[in-house]
């Protein structure tokens, strides 16, 4: 068995960042110095990231983040891994740390009650409870909590409009959940704003629930935004619920279609993966934009002009001038 000398960190923190662009440069430099790879989003409303690195470097990173009073309450989900889970490093400034368009909602002022994993497990099967999955279709089709209500959305920004369909649940206790907890902060706050009175959220999301509560009653696998694509969560009563997009056999092997013009996230079994060279159909298999399939179904996103070493180059140039 390979040694798990690396860690994968999943985290977010809603806080005020006065100068996001300045902080981006400082934070980017920190990640470069520690050899971390992954995706980090910075906005005026906070920090959202998932990175990988050697265990000791990840420890230094968490210590550095929490040493800043703005991020002292950041809850890191830490998972051991055999290698980096990313190929590159992105640190970007965006309008929101999770794109939903609810700019006026501040989870630090009002949000659903946080439930720790054991509390969520104890409460989720009560008769007066509805478990609400706030993730997108490709995520909950791969895995979800038993008896959870899912929404037909392709992106989280569609969530506010879908809430109109939940009016009949206003007399219920609504337990929201997502991958790491960040979407629930705004989703549960929005539900409260719309007149839902008893709203909760799974603190730390599915990932923390798997780490601390064994993942009981989470059916299927959890879609994750790193090189693993899908992650096993349930160590108590696991169940495969997804089917191969091509042949229909039970499969929780999530891939991106090898055709970059398609790139849909779907389960494809090992046999079909190789037969169709990572594509989701014969059309995509024959497409001129089809990428080389290596058996994983994971492809690094294009940089689109983003220079990951921009800050270090600038700092080096400044130091030479000095």
CATH number at residue 214: 3.40.250.10
Q: Indicate whether 135 and 67 sit together in one domain.
A: no
Residues 136 and 215 in one domain: yes
Domain count of the fold of the chain: 3
Residue 135's pLDDT is 98
Is residue 226 in some structural domain? Answer: no
Distance CA 51, CA 97 (A): 15
How far is the CA of 20 from the CAs of 25, 47, 142, 315, in angstroms? 9, 10, 35, 18
Which of 246, 243, 240 is CA-nearest to residue 258? 246
Rounded to 5°, angle at Cα 202 from 197 and 208: 175
Give the per-residue pLDDT at 297: 85
Considering the domain boundaries, does residue 68 fall inside one?
yes
| CB 222, CB 233: distance < 8 Å | yes
* CATH number of the structural domain spanning residue 80: 3.30.70.100
Q: Is residue 179 part of a domain?
A: yes
If asked whether residues 78 and 117 sit together in one domain, one would say no
Q: Is residue 271 part of a domain?
A: yes
**Do 168 and 88 fall within a single domain?**
no
Residues 130 and 180 in one domain: yes
Last residue of a domain, one of 220, 254, 281: 220
Q: How far apart are CA 25 and CA 312, in angstroms?
A: 9
* Catalytic residue IDs: 178
Q: Same domain for 119 and 90?
A: no
Residues 141 and 213 in one domain: yes
Q: Return the pLDDT at 305.
A: 56
CA distance 213 to 283: 43
**Residues with Cβ < 8 Å from 87, sequence gap 6 or more?**
37, 227, 300
pLDDT of residue 322: 46
**Within this chain, do residues 246 and 283 fall inside the same structural domain, yes or no?**
yes
CA distance 145 to 128: 16
- How far apart, in whole angstroms, are the C-alpha atoms of residue 157 and residue 81? 31
Helix (H, G, I), strand (E, B), or coil: what is residue 255?
strand
Taking the C-alpha atoms of residue 131 and residue 149, their distance in angstroms, rounded to an integer, is 6
**Tens digit of pLDDT per residue, the chain (322 long)?**
789 999 999 999 999 999 999 999 999 999 999 999 999 999 999 999 999 999 999 999 999 999 999 999 999 999 999 999 999 999 999 999 999 999 999 999 999 999 999 999 999 999 999 999 999 999 999 999 999 999 999 999 999 999 999 999 999 999 999 999 999 999 999 999 999 999 999 999 999 999 999 999 999 999 999 988 889 999 999 999 999 999 999 999 988 899 999 999 899 999 999 999 999 999 999 999 999 999 988 887 665 555 656 555 555 555 445 4
Residue that terminates a domain, selected from 71, 97, 123: 97
Residue 85: give the domain boundaries. 6-97
Residue 197 lies in a domain: yes
My answer on whether 213 and 126 are in the same domain is yes
**Is residue 43 assigned to a domain?**
yes
CB-based burial, 153-175: b 16+ in 10 Å, e otherwise: beebeebbeebeebeeeeebbbb
| 123 CB neighbour count, 10 Å cutoff | 16
Q: Say which residue the tokens 């470097």 belong to.
A: 57
Residues 196 and 265 both lie in one domain: no
Supply the pLDDT for residue 265: 86
Query: Residue 10 falls within a domain, yes or no?
Result: yes
- On whether both 77 and 142 belong to a single domain, the answer is no
151 shares its domain with 83: no
Rounded CA gap, 228 and 296, in Å? 8
156 in any annotated domain: yes
């Amino acid at each position: 068995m390979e040694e798990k000398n690396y860690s994968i960190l999943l985290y977010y923190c809603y806080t005020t960042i006065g100068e996001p662009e300045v902080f981006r440069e400082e934070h980017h430099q920190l990640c470069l110095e520690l050899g971390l790879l992954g995706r980090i989003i910075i906005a005026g409303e906070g920090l959202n990231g998932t990175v990988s690195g050697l265990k000791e470097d990840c420890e230094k990173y968490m210590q550095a983040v929490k040493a800043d009073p703005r991020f002292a309450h950041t809850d890191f989900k830490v998972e051991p891994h055999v290698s980096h889970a990313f190929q590159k490093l992105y640190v970007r400034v965006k309008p929101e740390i999770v794109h939903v368009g609810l700019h006026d909602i501040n989870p630090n002022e009002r949000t659903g009650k946080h439930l720790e994993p054991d509390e969520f497990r104890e409460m989720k099967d009560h008769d007066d409870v509805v478990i609400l999955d706030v993730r997108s279709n490709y995520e909950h089709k791969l895995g979800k909590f038993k008896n959870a209500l899912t929404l037909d959305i392709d992106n989280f920004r569609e969530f506010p409009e879908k809430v109109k369909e939940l009016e009949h649940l206003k007399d219920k206790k609504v337990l929201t959940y997502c991958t790491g907890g960040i979407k629930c902060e705004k989703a549960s706050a929005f539900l409260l704003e719309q007149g839902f009175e008893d709203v909760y959220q799974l603190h730390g999301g599915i990932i923390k629930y798997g780490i601390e509560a064994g993942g009981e009653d989470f059916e299927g696998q959890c879609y994750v935004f790193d090189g693993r694509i899908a992650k096993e969560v349930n160590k108590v009563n696991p169940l495969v619920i997804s089917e191969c997009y091509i042949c229909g056999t039970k499969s929780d092997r999530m891939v991106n279609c090898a055709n970059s013009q398609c790139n849909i996230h779907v389960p494809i079994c090992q046999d079909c993966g190789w037969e169709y060279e990572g594509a989701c159909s014969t059309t995509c298999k024959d497409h001129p934009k089809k990428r080389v399939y290596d058996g994983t179904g994971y492809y690094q996103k294009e940089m689109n002009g983003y220079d990951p070493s921009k800050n270090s180059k600038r700092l080096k140039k400044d130091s030479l001038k000095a």
